[in-house]
Amino acid sequence: MKYVKVMNDTTSNADNTLKYKTNEINIAKNWNKTATTPEEMGGFNFSTEDKILRWLLRGDTLYEVTLPDDAEVVECESQSAPHGVFRANKIIIKNPVKITDEVAMDLYKKSDLPWKSYIQILSYLAASDYKKTSYQILEDQITPDNAKESLDIYDNFLKIRIDPMPQLYLEIKKQIENQISGKEEKNDWK
């Protein structure tokens, strides 16, 4: 299993005062593997390649994660089938890759997520101008049968609103609305 993590360069998205060291062991200041909340548990969170797509909104850089032999690792509980969130007291991050539309598309092709997660991350990807990945998710995941629910998820997932919303976000929203109303529009995104 390949572990990965998304961050803003080398800064934690959970604690912006925490700077990770690359190619070195990072040791958590706080660790309680029996705790049930992330705040009490502490440690470092990371995911798997097939689940990381949903976490792209957490940063601009993707890292491989390796675990020292003496690391303690916990797979976090989830109400939905395996969601791929792990926490450990020690990790090593390496091989940083800036997240681009191409990287996002590669992760999408490797992903195995619940349907709702695809629609949630679609709102972020579209707002961040990942055009190819956004349109591929739209094409693969949204149908006339689920378009109404998709629109509700899509339009309510992002907590931070930009005024005006980015053009791609609006284009994708219109495409979903067209599915609801039965209108077909030709997309030339490929």
Dist CA 155 CA 150 (whole Å):
8
Q: What percent of the chain has pLDDT over 90?
A: 72
pLDDT digits (tens, 9 = 90+) for 124-143: 999 999 999 999 999 999 99
Contact present, 45 and 87 (Cβ < 8 Å): yes
Confidence at 182, pLDDT banded by 50, 70, 90: confident
Contact present, 189 and 167 (Cβ < 8 Å): no
Q: What percent of the chain has pLDDT over 70?
A: 91
Contact present, 41 and 101 (Cβ < 8 Å): no
User: What pLDDT sits at residue 109?
Assistant: 98
Dist CA 25 CA 30 (whole Å):
15
pLDDT digits (tens, 9 = 90+) for 82-138: 568 899 999 999 999 999 999 999 999 999 999 999 999 999 999 999 999 999 999
Question: For the residues of the chain, what is the DSSP string, one character each?
Answer: --EEEEEBTTB-SS-TT-BPPBTSEEE-S-B-TT-SSHHHHBSEEEEETTTGGGGGGG-SEEEEEE--TT--EEEPP-SSS----EEESEEEEEEEEE--HHHHHHHHHH----HHHHHHHHHHHHHTT-HHHHHHHHHHH--TTTHHHHHHHHHHH-SS--SSPPHHHHHHHHHHHHHHHT--------
Answer yes or no: is pLDDT of 188 > 60: no
Confidence at 174, pLDDT banded by 50, 70, 90: very high
Answer yes or no: is pLDDT of 184 > 70: no
